[in-house]
Structure 1
Amino acid sequence: MGDNPLPISINMFSSASKVKGQGVGSAYEELIRLLKTHLSNEITVRINKYSKSDISHYHTIDPTFYLSTFSKKRGVKVGYVHFLPETIEGSLKIPQPFRGIFYKYIIAFYKRMDRIVVVNPTFIPKLETYGISKDKITYIPNFVRKDEFGEYDNKKRLETRAKLNIQDQFTILGIGQVQERKGVKDFIKLAENNPDMLFIWAGGFSFGRLTDGYADLKKVVDNPPANLRFTGIVDRDQLADYYNAADLFLLPSFNELFPMSVLEAFSCGTPVMLRDLDLYHSIIEGYYIKTDGYDQMDQELKELKNDPDRMAQMKAISLSASDRYSEDHLTEIWLKYYSSLVK
């Protein structure tokens, strides 16, 4: 630690765990566990406490947290940017004028911070356009741990498929909130047009009726085609079963930040197919099957189903990607970052 003989005290501020089935909560819980497990000698962590600290790290933008930023006790204020106004479009249905007010509040919150951490480097120029200096911003990716999301051997995989009532169909898994932004409608259409394959969407309506496209999607969720299953929100400790049971992970999202689900799929050795978004290029380029929309997804699925060699190749690629976003690697990065703030 050099200049810092005492542990660094960090107050973490978050309400992300209150809403189940969203990636912000997963990323937050992983970071807390990493710090407590690997860096307990170097860093002391308190959760949602307003005591004096070296660093206050804000994971969500609650109004009570915003008010706390005016206290002298907060130390260095770090904001974790998981979303911007433009990335909320297609997730939540907020009528005007409240939407405009909410978007202004998001940026006002970020501007209260001394430092910003982004989970995706494409956010840096966007934050600059809102008047936040590039010098304040650091990119630190999400990560997942192998002991929670690991690859099953063939015997365990077959047992898991039997437990989840998956026969010998080619099985495609999607994970995330059921909402327009996630491309769920394309997922449904793929299921309708590929009756010989099994499609499973693990996730639910985390924000209920506020979800964009709720009425249309709810009809299909309540009465899906025979080869499409909606599981509802799945507990995090059961997700590895789904990744390992599936042949392919497909995320047809139109808009993402740094999807935890993709990292979890990599970690389980599940081949990954994505709608190709610009923001993926700087973080996971070369590790996934690119598609530009529904037609290409449909064509790729039909080809992959009959190409075990390519599937094996994509599995190996997923496993190599998971090393980049491992817990050990990110432990070093976070320690270096927090230490630099208190020097």
Structure 2
Amino acid sequence: MLTINMFSSADKVKGQGVGSVYLDLVKMLEENFPDTLEISINKMKKTQITHYHTVDLPFYFSTFFKKSRGRKIGYVHFVPETLEGSLDLPWIAKVVFYRYLVDFYKRMDHLVVVNPSFIPILMELGIKEEKITYIPNFVSKKMFYEYKDEKKASVKKAKGFKESDFIVFGAGQIQDRKGVDDFVELAKENPHMQFIWAGGFSFGKMSSGYEKYKEIYENPPENMTFTGIISREELVDYYNICDTFLLPSHNELFPMCILEAFNCGAVVMLRDLPLYQSIIDGDFLPAKDMQDMHKMLNDMTKNPELFDSYKKKSRKAAQKYSEENLSKIWYDFYLEQAAVEHRHFSVQSDD
């Protein structure tokens, strides 16, 4: 049996995708490979593979105990440049943290990135390409799935919306890089639609643009609702009752909310960022800017064929990033890494 220890504090902060990725991966491994994988969480015991999900300082210190950690796998959910627009830190704190982050990644034996666009960035930081593997995120169909029409109608009514309401839904932490400003402006420009944003200030006053967004959060346009940080069960309701899932982010990683929306059969509209082209190109409505988003939202209210075609694209994309597909990829990856560590250890023993 292969032993894997997960180091993570991702589930301590509500409303962030890293926590969802971590919890879903552990659950998937435990359910699909109970007889071949032994998973432990935050244990300082000897193991064949240690998978680092977050970059906590105690986890960094643990990397110096090579024989106990086995093969060290780092999960790259962000790089220095993607943190811009997420957190407001004093410049000196930012410099220190960015250096620490890069050093943490360099202490890993292998890195897993959630987006292939991270690979050249990591290479520029001095990490060899052969030490990096791209494995996309996935979403469980048991948690995120498309409701029947009758349930969609009843949930929509229970949430206080009329059957005829055209609902635009967005999700994520409220911060600069998420494009919340454009989402709010779109609500103002389209009073005939209903806009909902799920998410809050996961990092409190450290969230980028906190004071500005706190004012907007407390005084939104009449046709806009901020739900705050909500449970994943409630998120499923909103994905199902929305007519369009819109994420206007200026900078992204590989947001779980996009895959969640695909799984629930929602039409997905995104700002047309280069990073999406290598992972979900053709699966979503690409918008250059807010004006483009405004036009396409209104086009969909008049063009049911366009609407239906992108619902079909979402359902097809959901199959590509399903738990079934990704479980084998992860299992094979862990076996491969364990074999590399065994060969490395054998060579050292012979020496």
TM range (shorter): over 0.9
Name the residue aligned to 1:4. Answer: none
Opposite residue 59 of structure 1, the aligned amino acid is: H
Name the residue aligned to 1:3. Answer: none
TM-score scaled by length of structure 1: 0.97
SS at match of 1:338: helix
Name the residue aligned to 1:268. Answer: 264
1:163 paired residue among 154, 158, 161: 158
Opposite residue 241 of structure 2, the aligned amino acid is: A
Q: How far did residue 237 of structure 1 move? A: 1.9
Name the residue aligned to 2:346. Answer: none
Opposite residue 60 of structure 2, the aligned amino acid is: Y
1:105 paired residue among 100, 103, 106: 100
SS at match of 1:215: helix
Q: How far did residue 164 of structure 1 move? A: 1.1
Opposite residue 181 of structure 2, the aligned amino acid is: K
Q: How far did residue 249 of structure 1 move? A: 0.1
Q: Distance in 1 between matches of 2:279 and 2:50?
A: 27
2:138 paired residue among 139, 143, 150: 143
SS at match of 1:10: strand
Q: Distance in 2 between matches of 1:236 and 1:156?
A: 17
Q: Judge which range, 73-82 or 217-226, deviates more.
A: 217-226
What are the superposed Cα offsets for residues 13-47 of structure 1, whole Å, 9 maximum, x if unpaired?
A: 00000000000001111100000000111111000
Name the residue aligned to 2:49. Answer: 55
Give the ranges of 4+ consecutive aligned residues of structure 1 lying more than 2 Å apart after TM superposition.
Answer: none
2:201 paired residue among 194, 201, 205: 205
2:30 paired residue among 21, 29, 36: 36
Q: Distance in 1 between matches of 2:338 and 2:200?
A: 41
Q: How far did residue 153 of structure 1 move? A: 0.9
- Ranges in structure 2 where 5+ consecutive residues have no aligned partner: 340-351
Match status 1:233 vs 2:229: yes
Name the residue aligned to 1:293. Answer: 289
Opposite residue 155 of structure 2, the aligned amino acid is: T
How many residue pairs get aligned? The number is 337
What are the superposed Cα offsets for residues 153-179 of structure 1, whole Å, 9 maximum, x if unpaired?
A: 110000110111111211000000011
SS at match of 1:97: helix
Q: How far did residue 305 of structure 1 move? A: 1.4
Q: How far did residue 342 of structure 1 move? A: 1.4
Match status 1:280 vs 2:276: yes
Q: Distance in 2 between matches of 1:199 and 1:225?
A: 9
SS at match of 2:245: strand
Opposite residue 187 of structure 1, the aligned amino acid is: F
Task: For 1:221-260, list aligned pairs within 5 A.
Answer: 221-260=217-256
Name the residue aligned to 2:178. Answer: 182
Opposite residue 245 of structure 2, the aligned amino acid is: F
Q: How far did residue 236 of structure 1 move? A: 1.2
Q: Distance in 1 between matches of 2:282 and 2:135?
A: 20
SS at match of 2:278: helix
Match status 1:27 vs 2:21: yes
Q: Distance in 1 between matches of 2:141 and 2:134?
A: 22
Name the residue aligned to 1:76. Answer: 71
SS at match of 2:325: helix
TM-score scaled by length of structure 2: 0.95
Q: Distance in 2 between matches of 1:130 and 1:243?
A: 38
Task: For 1:306-321, list aligned pairs within 5 A.
Answer: 306-321=302-317
Name the residue aligned to 1:339. Answer: 335
What are the superposed Cα offsets for residues 55-80 of structure 1, whole Å, 9 maximum, x if unpaired?
A: 00000000000000001200000000
Q: Distance in 1 between matches of 2:335 and 2:195?
A: 46
Q: Distance in 2 between matches of 1:325 and 1:163?
A: 31
Q: Distance in 1 between matches of 2:27 and 2:238?
A: 23
Q: How far did residue 136 of structure 1 move? A: 0.5
Match status 1:124 vs 2:149: no
Q: Distance in 1 between matches of 2:219 and 2:264?
A: 30
Name the residue aligned to 1:216. Answer: 212
Q: Distance in 2 between matches of 1:282 and 1:39?
A: 30
SS at match of 1:249: strand
Q: Distance in 1 between matches of 2:12 and 2:338?
A: 30
Q: How far did residue 310 of structure 1 move? A: 1.1
Q: How far did residue 191 of structure 1 move? A: 0.3
Q: Distance in 2 between matches of 1:70 and 1:61?
A: 14
Percent identity (aligned): 51
Name the residue aligned to 2:4. Answer: 10
Q: Distance in 2 between matches of 1:41 and 1:334?
A: 15
